[in-house]
Amino acid sequence: MKLFNKKSRTAVKNTCDQKRRGAATVEFAVVVPVFGIFLAAMVEFGHAYMVQTTLRGAAKKAARYGVANGVTTTDVKMEALRVVSAAIDTSSLSIIVKDADVFDSSDSPTDDLDFEDLPDIELANATTRHLYIIRLSIPYEEVALFPPFWTDNLTLHSQSVMRHE
Protein backbone atom coordinates (compact mmCIF):
# COMPACT_ATOMS: atom_id res chain seq x y z
CA MET A 1 0.00 0.00 0.00
CA LYS A 2 1.45 3.33 -0.99
CA LEU A 3 0.91 6.47 1.01
CA PHE A 4 1.60 9.90 -0.42
CA ASN A 5 3.13 12.83 1.35
CA LYS A 6 0.69 15.74 0.91
CA LYS A 7 3.36 18.35 0.29
CA SER A 8 5.61 16.59 -2.19
CA ARG A 9 3.23 14.00 -3.56
CA THR A 10 5.95 11.36 -3.28
CA ALA A 11 5.33 7.81 -2.24
CA VAL A 12 6.10 6.94 1.35
CA LYS A 13 6.68 3.29 2.40
CA ASN A 14 4.24 1.89 4.87
CA THR A 15 5.93 1.37 8.25
CA CYS A 16 3.78 -1.69 8.84
CA ASP A 17 5.39 -3.43 5.85
CA GLN A 18 8.83 -2.65 7.22
CA LYS A 19 7.99 -4.21 10.58
CA ARG A 20 6.69 -7.44 8.96
CA ARG A 21 9.74 -7.95 6.76
CA GLY A 22 11.29 -11.34 7.58
CA ALA A 23 8.39 -12.55 9.72
CA ALA A 24 7.51 -15.26 7.24
CA THR A 25 11.09 -16.51 7.28
CA VAL A 26 11.14 -16.69 11.07
CA GLU A 27 7.78 -18.46 11.17
CA PHE A 28 8.99 -20.94 8.56
CA ALA A 29 12.19 -21.58 10.54
CA VAL A 30 10.16 -22.33 13.67
CA VAL A 31 7.42 -24.46 12.10
CA VAL A 32 9.42 -26.66 9.69
CA PRO A 33 11.57 -28.48 12.31
CA VAL A 34 8.50 -29.18 14.47
CA PHE A 35 6.58 -30.45 11.44
CA GLY A 36 9.58 -32.58 10.38
CA ILE A 37 9.85 -34.21 13.81
CA PHE A 38 6.10 -34.86 13.82
CA LEU A 39 6.29 -36.42 10.35
CA ALA A 40 9.29 -38.60 11.29
CA ALA A 41 7.48 -39.78 14.44
CA MET A 42 4.42 -40.75 12.40
CA VAL A 43 6.57 -42.76 10.00
CA GLU A 44 8.44 -44.47 12.86
CA PHE A 45 5.30 -45.41 14.78
CA GLY A 46 3.70 -46.69 11.59
CA HIS A 47 6.76 -48.86 10.93
CA ALA A 48 6.75 -50.19 14.50
CA TYR A 49 3.06 -51.06 14.12
CA MET A 50 3.82 -52.88 10.86
CA VAL A 51 6.57 -54.92 12.55
CA GLN A 52 4.28 -55.75 15.47
CA THR A 53 1.53 -56.86 13.09
CA THR A 54 4.01 -59.00 11.16
CA LEU A 55 5.14 -60.70 14.37
CA ARG A 56 1.52 -61.33 15.38
CA GLY A 57 0.65 -62.83 12.00
CA ALA A 58 3.77 -65.00 11.95
CA ALA A 59 3.07 -66.31 15.46
CA LYS A 60 -0.51 -67.21 14.56
CA LYS A 61 0.44 -68.84 11.27
CA ALA A 62 3.29 -70.86 12.80
CA ALA A 63 1.09 -71.96 15.72
CA ARG A 64 -1.61 -73.14 13.32
CA TYR A 65 1.03 -74.95 11.29
CA GLY A 66 2.19 -76.80 14.43
CA VAL A 67 -1.27 -78.18 15.16
CA ALA A 68 -0.96 -80.96 12.56
CA ASN A 69 0.55 -84.35 13.30
CA GLY A 70 4.11 -84.97 12.14
CA VAL A 71 5.17 -81.32 12.26
CA THR A 72 8.28 -80.72 14.35
CA THR A 73 9.19 -77.75 16.50
CA THR A 74 11.91 -76.88 14.00
CA ASP A 75 9.31 -76.83 11.21
CA VAL A 76 7.20 -74.39 13.22
CA LYS A 77 10.19 -72.12 13.86
CA MET A 78 11.10 -72.16 10.17
CA GLU A 79 7.52 -71.23 9.23
CA ALA A 80 7.60 -68.25 11.60
CA LEU A 81 11.00 -67.23 10.25
CA ARG A 82 9.74 -67.49 6.67
CA VAL A 83 6.77 -65.19 7.36
CA VAL A 84 8.76 -62.58 9.28
CA SER A 85 11.68 -62.53 6.83
CA ALA A 86 9.35 -61.27 4.10
CA ALA A 87 9.04 -57.96 5.98
CA ILE A 88 12.10 -57.38 8.18
CA ASP A 89 15.64 -58.53 8.87
CA THR A 90 15.46 -61.63 11.07
CA SER A 91 19.07 -61.77 12.25
CA SER A 92 18.08 -60.82 15.82
CA LEU A 93 14.65 -62.50 15.89
CA SER A 94 14.05 -64.84 18.81
CA ILE A 95 11.58 -67.70 18.34
CA ILE A 96 10.67 -69.99 21.22
CA VAL A 97 8.21 -72.85 21.28
CA LYS A 98 7.34 -73.98 24.80
CA ASP A 99 5.06 -76.42 26.60
CA ALA A 100 2.15 -74.42 28.01
CA ASP A 101 0.42 -77.18 30.01
CA VAL A 102 1.14 -75.16 33.15
CA PHE A 103 -1.82 -72.95 32.17
CA ASP A 104 -4.14 -75.98 32.11
CA SER A 105 -3.03 -77.66 35.31
CA SER A 106 -2.11 -74.76 37.57
CA ASP A 107 -4.49 -72.91 39.85
CA SER A 108 -1.80 -70.42 40.87
CA PRO A 109 -1.56 -67.05 39.09
CA THR A 110 0.85 -66.98 36.17
CA ASP A 111 1.15 -63.20 35.81
CA ASP A 112 4.85 -63.08 36.64
CA LEU A 113 5.74 -66.20 34.66
CA ASP A 114 8.83 -65.95 32.45
CA PHE A 115 8.32 -67.76 29.16
CA GLU A 116 11.96 -68.81 29.06
CA ASP A 117 11.35 -70.89 32.21
CA LEU A 118 8.65 -73.02 30.57
CA PRO A 119 9.80 -76.47 29.43
CA ASP A 120 10.65 -77.02 25.76
CA ILE A 121 8.34 -79.15 23.66
CA GLU A 122 8.84 -81.31 20.61
CA LEU A 123 5.59 -80.99 18.68
CA ALA A 124 6.13 -84.24 16.74
CA ASN A 125 5.81 -86.10 20.07
CA ALA A 126 2.99 -83.99 21.55
CA THR A 127 -0.23 -85.68 22.59
CA THR A 128 -3.71 -84.69 21.47
CA ARG A 129 -4.98 -81.46 23.09
CA HIS A 130 -1.49 -80.62 24.37
CA LEU A 131 -1.20 -76.86 24.89
CA TYR A 132 1.87 -75.09 23.50
CA ILE A 133 2.96 -71.51 22.99
CA ILE A 134 5.07 -69.87 20.32
CA ARG A 135 6.64 -66.50 21.09
CA LEU A 136 8.50 -64.20 18.69
CA SER A 137 10.51 -61.22 19.90
CA ILE A 138 12.93 -58.73 18.37
CA PRO A 139 14.74 -55.71 19.87
CA TYR A 140 13.18 -52.46 18.65
CA GLU A 141 16.52 -50.86 17.84
CA GLU A 142 17.14 -53.64 15.30
CA VAL A 143 14.04 -52.75 13.25
CA ALA A 144 13.72 -49.00 13.86
CA LEU A 145 13.97 -46.68 10.88
CA PHE A 146 15.44 -43.86 12.96
CA PRO A 147 17.74 -44.28 15.96
CA PRO A 148 15.42 -44.75 18.95
CA PHE A 149 16.82 -42.16 21.36
CA TRP A 150 13.57 -42.14 23.36
CA THR A 151 13.48 -45.86 24.09
CA ASP A 152 15.75 -48.00 26.18
CA ASN A 153 15.81 -51.78 25.68
CA LEU A 154 12.36 -51.92 24.12
CA THR A 155 11.43 -55.30 22.65
CA LEU A 156 8.58 -55.99 20.25
CA HIS A 157 7.00 -59.39 20.77
CA SER A 158 3.99 -61.48 19.92
CA GLN A 159 2.77 -64.91 20.89
CA SER A 160 0.15 -67.44 20.04
CA VAL A 161 -1.16 -70.39 22.01
CA MET A 162 -2.59 -73.53 20.37
CA ARG A 163 -3.51 -77.10 21.15
CA HIS A 164 -1.94 -79.96 19.26
CA GLU A 165 -4.33 -82.26 17.42
Averages of pLDDT over each 10 residues, the chain, 165 residues? 57 60 85 93 92 96 91 94 93 93 71 80 90 94 83 88 90
φ/ψ of 70, rounded to 5, equals: 85, -5
Q: pLDDT (tens digit, 9 = 90+) per residue, 149-162?
A: 777 788 999 999 99
- Check residue 129 and give left, alpha or beta (phi > 0: left; psi -120 to 50: alpha): left
Return the pLDDT at 82: 95
Q: Are 3 and 12 in contact (CB under 8 A)?
A: yes
Q: Are 47 and 142 in contact (CB under 8 A)?
A: no
Q: pLDDT (tens digit, 9 = 90+) per residue, 15-41?
A: 666 666 788 888 899 999 999 999 998
| Start-to-end Cα distance in the chain | 84
